[in-house]
């Protein structure tokens, strides 16, 4: 308990301090041109996740490819990728467009730990007894999405519908603001470029495999260099998250729209996963070169 000197004001409680910090954060974002300032201040100031759609897609592709490679089963890849973006593809249209009067929230069914728990249970049974991993892979992708969004920071959304429905006045206009905000971050265009390049590479490996096989050493060198770059970025990102390098690199990572320790940390984990995937690709290319 904080002692109060007679004749002075009560010290601010935790809620008022949180609201004050949130308002200060919005003012600073507006002054600095941060795209988050497009979103009206709602009073929520927790460390709710701020991962954008194409980062979710990029992270889902990395996650799906890595799981499929580690398990030596390609059936895991596409469902993991779909699961990583499925919550936004379902919840945002339902919550902001089709049933805006009822929900007014873009994080409902597929952002709920209740729903993903049921999918994990059903998927595990389907995988164990019928040897079909697709449902379990989708459930893992959805859970990965929830981790990126830090859903535990908003229990009324994460445990939906156990706490009931709390409708708000957010609708299609608010969803449009979110879309415009996302594309004001350079990182979204960067990840779109990376995803398009990855698709072109996959198509080239399928339809021009003989041409690529002649340059396996060069591809192995490129993937190895990419893995090293991802490790460096991951180290800087995680270091920024634990405040060791915040003063030096914080402005750089506003490119991604991150400003909380956990966002930096989980972003660094995704880059580490990317580095591991690229390094394993390098190993496969070198192995193919030796056997070929």
- Report DSSP state, residue 94: I
| pTM of the predicted model as reported, rounded to 2 decimal places | 0.77
Distance CA 192, CA 197 (A): 9
Question: In this prediction, what percent of the chain has a pLDDT beyond 70?
Answer: 71
Q: What long-range pairs does 238-241 form, CB within 8 A, spacing at least 24?
A: 238/264, 238/265, 238/268, 238/269, 240/264, 241/265, 241/267, 241/268
Q: What long-range pairs does 17-21 form, CB within 8 A, spacing at least 24?
A: 18/45, 18/46, 19/43, 19/45, 21/45
Q: Which of 14-18, 58-62, 143-147, 283-287 has the lowest mean pLDDT?
A: 14-18
pLDDT digits (tens, 9 = 90+) for 45-94: 334 445 788 899 999 999 999 999 999 999 999 999 999 999 999 988 88
Q: What is the mean pLDDT of residues 122-143?
A: 94
CA 207 distance to own-chain centroid = 31
Band of residue 23 on the pLDDT scale cut at 50, 70, 90: very low
The mean pLDDT value of the chain amounts to 77
pLDDT computed for residue 21 by the predictor: 46
Chain length of the chain: 292
Q: What is the mean pLDDT of residues 93-121?
A: 87
């Amino acid at each position: 308990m904080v002692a109060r000197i007679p004749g002075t004001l009560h010290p601010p409680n935790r809620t008022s301090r949180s609201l004050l910090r949130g308002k200060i954060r919005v003012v600073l974002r507006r002054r600095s041109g941060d795209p988050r300032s497009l979103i009206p201040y709602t009073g929520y100031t927790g460390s709710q996740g701020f991962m954008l759609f194409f980062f979710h897609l990029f992270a889902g592709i990395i996650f799906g490819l890595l799981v499929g490679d580690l398990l030596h089963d390609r059936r895991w890849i596409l469902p993991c990728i779909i699961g990583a973006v499925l919550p936004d593809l379902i919840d945002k249209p339902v919550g902001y467009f089709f049933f805006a009067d009822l929900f007014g929230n873009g994080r409902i069914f597929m952002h709920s730990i209740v729903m993903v728990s049921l999918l994990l249970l059903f998927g595990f049974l389907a995988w164990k007894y019928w040897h079909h991993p697709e449902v379990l892979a989708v459930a893992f992708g959805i859970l990965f999405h929830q981790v990126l969004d830090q859903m535990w920071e908003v229990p009324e959304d994460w445990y939906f519908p156990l706490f009931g429905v709390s409708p708000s006045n957010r609708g299609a206009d608010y969803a449009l603001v979110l879309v415009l905000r996302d594309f004001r971050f350079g990182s979204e265009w960067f990840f779109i470029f990376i995803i398009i390049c990855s698709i072109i590479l996959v198509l080239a490996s399928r339809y021009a495999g003989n041409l690529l096989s002649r340059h396996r050493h060069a591809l192995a060198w490129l993937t190895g260099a990419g893995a090293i770059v991802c490790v460096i970025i991951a180290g800087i990102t995680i270091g920024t998250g634990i405040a060791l390098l915040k003063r030096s690199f914080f402005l750089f990572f506003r490119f991604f729209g991150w400003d909380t320790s956990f966002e930096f940390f989980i972003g660094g984990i995704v880059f580490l996963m990317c580095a591991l995937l690229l390094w394993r690709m390098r190993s496969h290319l070198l192995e193919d070169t030796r056997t070929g």
